[in-house]
């Protein structure tokens, strides 16, 4: 069939940051929209379900693997269009996200430096609206192009049409219909980085300092390494943050404060008039789960309670079971039910 090369079956664990999970019934890499169209048509005519795999950095795959066709968008290409004090950077979905961040910083462009060190591909970033250190990718996205499986056409969505939320978007809700093919971000060519996160502000020199994007990127990378959030050789494998930081209203915050007890201050960041974000890592640690806790081949990172890790030779079901224990422990202690950040493939029954 055309020039497509189908692999059947194909192990998926090596294609994920967790290095867990079984195999795909079939897998194919596509390097263009016509190849994507061809692969989807093959799946349709053969009655196979379709799964779309980017960098595998936000994915938990069941030990039994998945039936159907796994499509890997390997589209490449970066274009930079400068105009005045701004530049629109258009990037194909298959490019590695952190390589793009490094490129923009080296080109003197401002806006992505706080999102350094995040693993995965460009195509995944708008789907879950990735964010770190006070910045979300939706802050700079100009438009997203996606293949519409119902119409067979590539559509362009504005930032508003993407309906971005905290770690979600219309693209995530409609993942069965749309496949991201290209993302454009609008960056600044002049000025200074915008720093909104206190930890980062202190790390670059405190209030009133004026670091450039290169310095901010370097500091962000060091902060992430210190939390075990950078995928490096020899380090335990993870999907980074396993749970989303819960956002609560004033009443629910009061319940958490009461559960914490007198003298135990609950950290929070105001995100709305009456809404606050509570660090999930704090909730986990204050529910009795310590950093470095290990259960066989899986455990909690020694560096950050929000990262569940795989030390090698483990099973996905063990990681999911650990996540469930943590979720239930936090709910019992504080009355909040943590929501997982990664996507789950091939699991039956309840997942965390």
Residues 6+ apart with CB under 8 A from 57: 16, 17, 118, 119, 120, 124, 231, 239, 240
> Is 287 one of the catalytic residues?
no
Residues 6+ apart with CB under 8 A from 48: 25, 26, 42, 67, 68, 69
Q: Give the DSSP H/E element, type plus range, for residue 155.
A: strand 153-158
Coil, helix or strand at residue 171: helix
Cα separation of 284 and 351, whole Å?
18
> What letter would DSSP give residue 236?
P
Contact 56, 17 (CB under 8 A): yes
Query: Rounded to an integer, what is the distance from CA 206 to the centroid of its chain?
Result: 28
Contact 291, 300 (CB under 8 A): yes
> Is 186 one of the catalytic residues?
no
Question: Which of 241, 268, 287, 301 does the annotation list as catalytic?
Answer: 241
Query: Rounded to an integer, what is the distance from CA 15 to the centroid of its chain?
Result: 15
> Is 167 one of the catalytic residues?
yes
- Report which of 112, 61, 315 is spatially closest to residue 217, judged by C-alpha positions: 112
**Full 3-state SS string of 252-269:** HHHHHHHHHCCCCCCCCE
Question: Which of 116, 138, 145, 167 does the annotation list as catalytic?
Answer: 167
Catalytic residues: 167, 241, 341
């Amino acid at each position: 069939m055309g020039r497509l090369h189908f692999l059947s079956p194909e192990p998926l664990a090596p294609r994920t940051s967790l290095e867990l999970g079984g195999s795909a019934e079939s897998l194919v890499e596509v390097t263009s929209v016509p190849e994507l169209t061809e692969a989807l048509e093959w799946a349709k005519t053969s009655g196979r379900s379709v799964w779309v795999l980017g960098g595998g950095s936000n994915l938990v795959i069941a030990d039994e693997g998945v039936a159907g066709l796994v499509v890997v968008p390997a589209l490449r290409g970066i274009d930079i269009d400068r105009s005045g004090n701004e530049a629109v950077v258009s990037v194909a979905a298959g490019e590695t996200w952190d390589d793009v961040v490094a490129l923009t910083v080296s080109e003197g462009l401002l806006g992505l430096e706080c999102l350094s060190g995040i693993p995965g591909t460009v195509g995944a970033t708008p789907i879950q609206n990735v964010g770190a250190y006070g910045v979300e990718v939706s802050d700079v996205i100009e438009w997203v192009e996606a293949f519409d499986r119902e119409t067979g056409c590539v559509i362009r969505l504005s930032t508003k049409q993407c309906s971005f939320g905290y770690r979600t978007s219309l693209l995530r809700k409609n993942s069965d219909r749309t496949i991201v093919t290209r993302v454009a971000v609008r960056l600044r060519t002049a000025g200074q980085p915008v720093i909104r996160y206190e930890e980062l502000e202190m790390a670059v020199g405190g209030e009133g300092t004026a670091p450039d994007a290169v310095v901010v990127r370097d500091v962000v990378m060091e902060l992430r390494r210190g939390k075990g959030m950078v995928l490096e050789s020899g380090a335990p494998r993870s999907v980074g943050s396993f749970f989303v930081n819960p956002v609560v209203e004033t009443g629910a915050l009061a319940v958490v404060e009461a559960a914490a007890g007198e003298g135990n201050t609950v950290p929070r960041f105001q995100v709305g008039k009456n809404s606050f974000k509570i660090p999930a890592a704090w909730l986990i640690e204050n529910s009795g789960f310590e950093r470095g806790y290990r259960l066989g081949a899986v455990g909690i990172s020694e560096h950050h309670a929000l990262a569940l890790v795989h030390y090698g030779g483990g099973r996905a079901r063990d990681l999911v079971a650990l996540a469930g224990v943590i979720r239930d422990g936090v709910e019992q202690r504080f009355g909040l039910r943590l929501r997982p950040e990664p996507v789950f493939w091939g699991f039956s029954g309840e997942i965390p």
